[in-house]
Structure formats: structure tokens, C-alpha cells
Structure 1
């Protein structure tokens, strides 16, 4: 007669392997891929930051029109001998920038500005190559996390569009007989704006991949909706100021008035409506464009204070710290902007002003991210 078995008794045959239930299945098989993809995106992020800096220096050294053709493939090879250098210089001599303002240049002077522009374009090629190798590598290895293929492809697509816009911008200054000595400021604004948009997409993806999927799902339930909305508004406001800053750079408006807080001894600079039709003054009148940039900066600071006051009351320590950091850098950026004006925008200060805008941009994104996905903390201050 067989013995009765307890309903909780292990019924597996002796020697049989016990299967342990797995936990965390929502992230199962994604951990390594998420870390690898995140590292790859961080490399791209760093390269885009360098690209923005090199682009700014190319603009500040008036080097952007030194290469008069768009050759995405063959342009990767610089002039290799004296004949090649002379041919490139001869092409540059045909455009208005040389004829109007750079007739003093000799070949050695031309080489300096050529290397700046070639380096800028070459860096763009490197970024494209890093993206392509990474994307194809992860795709072939089937290591792209579920739902991320389209997002990662978007990064490459935006980079391709940026390359085309870069030439669209440069072509506006490569003219003969039209009197252009710089690229169109409108196109410069589009070019810089897209660079910051790409940077923002990369940063957001890095933030998302920095935490497990299950943690993000849980954190989203604690989303601080009001704070998220305010930080989104601050992000848009900062982006507008970046575009206006590009207009300032495009027409060298930062050097038009070097007194502060007044401009030429007045609240509103002299001759604010000098150009016809009147709307052109908003974009092409150096005094008025600098004035708009100043006023927008003041308004951005005011709105930033409102957002910061809300953010510092967050229940989450990491979120409060993010908004405190954003406010500190925003205040520093305003001060640096004033210094840039007072010293007539020397390239050392101007490029620092641009790079600090990158830091501020990322900090606003970080604060916004933590508003949407707060990090829960225990009563002892440790992450829950």
C-alpha cells in the first residue's frame, strides 16, 4: 500500500534537476545590450559636443567658407601636395568672401582656415561612421533592446539630415557677385538648432537606458506632472534662446554694443528699425538682434527661477538636486553672456558661452527626465 503524500512535498524524481523560477523577466536578455547601446550613445554624445565646439570655433575664426564644394566621400582626403593646395586656394579666390574681405590672404593663411573647416567636416564623417558601425553591429548581433531599433535609426537619420543642412548653410555664403561674406544667419540657426536637438535625443536615450525597464515602469507611476510640464516649457524656452544666439553669431551682433545694461546709452539700441522691410530688423539688424537676445535671456532667467522654486519642493532628492544644478548653471550662463558682451565676444569667451549652453541644455533635460521618472528615496535618503 502506497504512502500518502503531503500536498507540499517535492514530487520530483530523485536526482532530477530542480528548475529555479527566474525573476525580472521584463529585463531578461536586455541588460548587456542596454549597457552596450548606452555606452555607444554616450560616445556619440561626446562626439556631438566636440562637433558643436569645433563648429563654433570654425565660425569664430571665419573658416566656414574655405571649402567651396560639398564632397561627402572624396572630401575626406585633404590636399596632399602643393598643386592640390593651390587648386583649393584658387577656388576660394573666386568667392565673395575672399574678394571683399580676405584679399590679403596668402596660401599659408588659407591653409589655417581650410584645416578648421576640413576638421569640422571630417568630424561629421567620424560621427556618421561611429553610428553606422554601432547600429549595424548591434543589429547583426541582435542585441538591440526591443522597441529601440527605430529610435537608434532616428539618430542616424538626423545626422544625415544635419550633414545636408550643413552644406545648405555653407552654400549660402559660397557666392560670386552677390556680396555675401558669411553664411545666412537663418540657415546657421537651423544648423545649430538641429545639433542641439540631436544632442537632446542622445541624452534622453542615455537617461532611459541608464535604468532597468522595470524601474522605469514603476517610476512613471510617480511622475510629477506639473513639474514635468514646467521643465518642458523651460526646455523649449532655452531652445528658442539658442536659436536667437545663432542669429547673433551669424551677423556678429555680439560685438555691435559692448555696454551693459544699456545699449549705446539707451534701453533700446539706436536705429532699431533701420532695414526695410521692417521684419528684417528682427533677424538682421545687429543692434536689435542683440537686444532681443538680451531680453530673452532675462525672461529665461525669470522663468527658470519659477521652475526652480517648484523643483526644489519635489519629494525626491535626486530631482531637487537636478533643478538646483540647472538653476546654478542658468545663472552662470547669464553672467557669462554679460561678460561676452562687455569684452566684444572674444573667441575664448564666446566658445565658453556656447559650451555652457550645452551643459545647461543637458541639465534641463536631466531635470525633466527625473520629473517624469523620479528616483524614489527611502526615509534614510537611500534609493528605494
Structure 2
């Protein structure tokens, strides 16, 4: 293995090293040439070879009597000519001696991030490559603009993606809880003791008696049996408990990663902030449920007890924000680590593709489409909160025309607040079920057009294979979502249609976020 020869011919464009134990009979220094002006330097606790015009050869440095000493945990050469050739915080050598003496022992430096053009005899190092398991501060080049990124360990990225998948499941189950009218079955907020499901008949009767004290029982479920109550109770109990589980799955690993240095100190506040958002989401969930437990609702003739559509929308919005935050932060962490470890396949080709000016414009459009999908989902929450899907069960017409009569969707009655004070006709947009359904229909049609147009334009743009697959996925899910929405409406909102419609909306938003994220430019590591 002519190591020096490889260096001389610039066959090692990027070489990083870390300490490891290799078999004693492996000698990295046996074939070093004496005439190579290459020095051994260390940056950010990782060593790399680079050319130098005034330095001793590797053989002179490694085998000659060039001594080093330890000063404040940094190893440096005493010889002034190469005093900066080796300097790192990661060494803890205590005895002076030649570098050859050190490297003849079982401690060697293993190459990392090497993109070998001549793999003969040297692939052993490439196979042993692995990413650094601790957080690090790295400088990246974003189209000529250098930016320091505080990169967490790869494990942190995968953990965040797992939390995102849990968020996805919670959103889908929350939709089922709403559709089965189970959300008001648990009438107390008990973050700790509420985690236990009633087991005995006596415990179930206690919970059932509590439920009977509130309007939903006296107005909606007057003939519900204990066995039927157990079913809706379980739906809400399970929804709350997977929320609790998410809190544990987040808090325990977060504490571990921070303690072990796998989260960069500059990122600790971000991690804590996401944890706080999980706790806030639980509080908002109870805030929403409490709005449907108002006993005054049972005294108003014709009033159906249900949660506030505003609080329901807030609860759903926070769930989506949590999901997107987990996903984007996790994906960024994994992406940067792959760049650092050299494990990203076809990185140069991807960088070239993602640098197209046309693709930049297209990415902005995909981000706007994802935002529109988010707004449409929130509009759907307003429809669910007002049971607006139970009227005008026809498509594309409404009441025999493109729009129903004006007094149906622009009515002064819906412009009044609970105290009878006029809030303006725009209040129809929030309180009138007919108007809310019109808004949701309009947003859905805009989404249909936007997704179709984006898919058609994207077919003619060069992009990575993964991005193209996501583009087709977005189109398929978008068209499916329109069909599910129409089917749910014309069939008077059956549970099966409505649950699939909500679940697919989460998939669509998730795919749009993933697609927009996949089009982001790929930076270069500044060595």
C-alpha cells in the first residue's frame, strides 16, 4: 500500500481520521515516501492531510526523532519547523517519544470521509468509516456563503423522526376520537392518575356517573349503555395516553442526549422548546375538551354540546406544527451527518441538480403549496367543529347552484356573539356552517389545481429520484383527497369515509413537507 504515493498524486481529496484500535501487525507507516511535503493537522478533533510547502515529509515526521509534549491537553511538536503539524484536544499521551513509537503500538488513526479514487489495498479504511457520535460545530458553504451549523449526533435525528411518526399517529387517532363523538367521555383532567384505565365494574360506574352530569349525556347520548360508554371512553383514554407516551419518548431520550453531549449546547434550547410544546399541546387539548363540558349548553334549547371549533382548530394546528418541527429538524440533522461522514450517495450530482435556478423557484412554489395544505386542514377542523359536513350533501352544486342563496351564507344571525352584540358580517366565515363549508370547498379546489399544476410543471424539471417519487406521491394523495372529500360529503359523513379523509390529509401534508424539504440545496463541508 503506497500511502505516500496516493497522497502525492492527490488521490485523497478529503481525509479525516479518528483514533481506533487496529490489529498490531497493521503498519500504516511502512510505505511512506520520504519526499512528500505533507503535514498532519487536526481541526475540530478530526485530523486531515493537506499539502504544505514548508514542512518535513511524513516519514520524517512520523519516524524521525520529532518529539512532542503535552501542554494543556494539547499535543504539539517541540521542533519549531513543524510545531503546528499535530495539535488536538483529543490526545492524552503522557510520555514523550517519537511519533513512530506511538504509531507502532495498537493505537492508529483510521481514515474517515475518504472518497478513494484508487481503492486497491485501502478499502479497509473506507469500510471502517463511521460518523462521529457526539455533537459538533461545523462550517458549511451554502453557495459561497459560509455558515456554522451546530450538528447533533445522527441518533438525535432518527429519534426526532420517530417522534414525528408518533405525532402522525396521534393526529389520525384524534380524528377518529372526534368522529366517534368520544372526546367528551372523560370529564376530568388528571395528567398522572388519568393514565390508568378503569378495570373493575365499580370504577367504570364511577366514570359513567361523572359523564351523566354533563350536557352531552342529557342531550346527545341519553340512551347510552355502560358497555357503549366503555367504547367511547377507551377512544379518548387511548388518545390521551399516546400523548403521554410521546411526552416520555421525548423527555427521557432528550435528557440522555443532552447529558452525553449528543445535542450541541447551542441546540439545547431548541430541544427543550419542542418538549415544552408537547406539554402545551396537552394543556390545549384539555382547554378544548373543557369548552364542551359547559353545563350551560344543556339549558339552551336546540344547542348540541360540542367543543369550540376555535379550540379544536388550535389543537390540530399545534399538532401539525409539532409534526413538521420534528420532521424538519430530524431530517436536517441526518442530512448534515451524512455529508460529514461521506455516506450520502451521489452527493456531487445531487448538489448540481439542487443548484438549478429553475428548481429554486419550483421549491418556493412547493413551500407555498404546503402552507396552503396546512390552512385547508385547519379549515377542515372548522367544518368538523360546526358539523358543517352534514349540510349541502351534494357536489359540485350547493342548493341547486354553485352557491346557495345569499341569506344562507351571509346571515346577520351568525354575526352576533353569545351576548347578542353584532360582530360584523365577516363573523359568518367562522360561525356559519354554510359559509365554513364554502370556504373549505374553495380551498380544496385551489389545492387540487395547485397540486395538478405543480405535478405537470415538475415533470419537465430535472430533480433527484427521491424528489420525483415524492412529487408523484403528492399528486396521487392530492387527487385521492379530493375524491375522499366528495365521497364523505355526498354520503353524509360516514365514519369510514371521514376517518380515511382525515388520515389522508395528514399524509398529504406530510408528503408536501417532505417534498419541499427534499428540494433544499445541499451545502459543502468547509475543510
1:362 Cα offset (Å): 1.3
Deviation, 1:99, is: 1.5
Q: How does 1:357-368 map to 2 (within 5 A)?
A: 357-368=505-516
Deviation at 1:238, TM superposition (A): 0.6
Q: Deviations over 1:115-147 (max 9, x none)?
A: 111111111111111111111121222222565
Instruction: Please point out which of 243, 260, 271 is paired with 2:378.
Output: 243
CA distance in 2, matches of 1:315, 1:296: 29
Q: Flag the structure with larger Rg.
A: 2
* Equivalent residues of 1:162, 1:191 under 8 A apart: yes
Paired with 2:370 and 2:257, the residues of 1 have a C-alpha distance of 31
CA distance in 2, matches of 1:62, 1:325: 32
For the residues of structure 2 that align with 1:336 and 1:177, how far apart are their CA atoms? Answer: 36
1:339 alignment counterpart: 487
Partner of 1:86: 205
Matches within 5 A, 1:319-338: 319-338=467-486
Contact 1:49 1:199 (8 Å CA) reproduced: yes
What CA distance in whole angstroms lies between the structure 2 residues aligned with 1:138 and 1:58? 34
Answer yes or no: is the 8 Å Cα contact 2:172–2:506 preserved in 1: no
Q: Where is the strand percentage greater, Structure 1 or Structure 2?
A: 2
Deviation of residue 22 (structure 1)?
A: 5.1
Correspondence 1:155 to 2:274: yes
Q: Within the alignment, does 1:143 sit opposite 2:262 as a pair?
A: yes
Secondary structure of the 1:16 match is helix
**Residue number in structure 2 paired with 1:231:** 366
Q: 2:409 aligns with which of 263, 272, 276?
A: 272
Is 1:371 the equivalent of 2:519?
yes
| Contact 2:158-2:334 at 8 Å conserved across structures | no
Q: Distance in 1 between matches of 2:363 and 2:210?
A: 52
Match of 2:430 in 1: 283
Q: Structure 1 residues 255-264 or 275-284, which shifts more?
A: 275-284
The equivalent of 1:312 in structure 2 is 459
Distance 1:189 1:249 in 2: 9
* SS of corresponding position for 2:296: coil
What SS class does the counterpart of residue 86 from structure 1 fall into? helix
Structure 1 pair 138/21, CA: closer, same or farther in 2 (3 Å)?
closer
Counterparts of residues 30-49 of structure 1 (less than 5 Å): 30=134, 34-49=153-168
User: After alignment, is 189-198 or 107-116 more displaced?
Assistant: 107-116
- After superposition, residues 1-384 of structure 1 pair within 5 angstroms as 10-11=59-60, 12-13=62-63, 16-18=101-103, 20=109, 23-24=112-113, 28-30=132-134, 34-145=153-264, 147-179=266-298, 181-213=305-337, 215=339, 219=351, 222=355, 224-270=359-405, 271-274=408-411, 275-277=413-415, 278-318=425-465, 319-373=467-521
Q: Report the CA distance between 1:176 and its aligned residue.
A: 0.8
Question: Does the Cα contact within 8 Å between 1:312 and 1:324 map onto a contact in 2?
Answer: no
**Per the alignment, in what secondary structure is the counterpart of residue 212 of structure 1?**
helix
TM-score (norm 1): 0.87
Shift of 1:35: 3.5
Alpha carbons 1:316, 1:374 under 8 Å: kept: no
Deviation at 1:325, TM superposition (A): 2.2
- Once the 2 structures are TM-superposed, how far is the Cα of residue 82 of structure 1 from its aligned partner? 3.0
SS at match of 2:414: coil
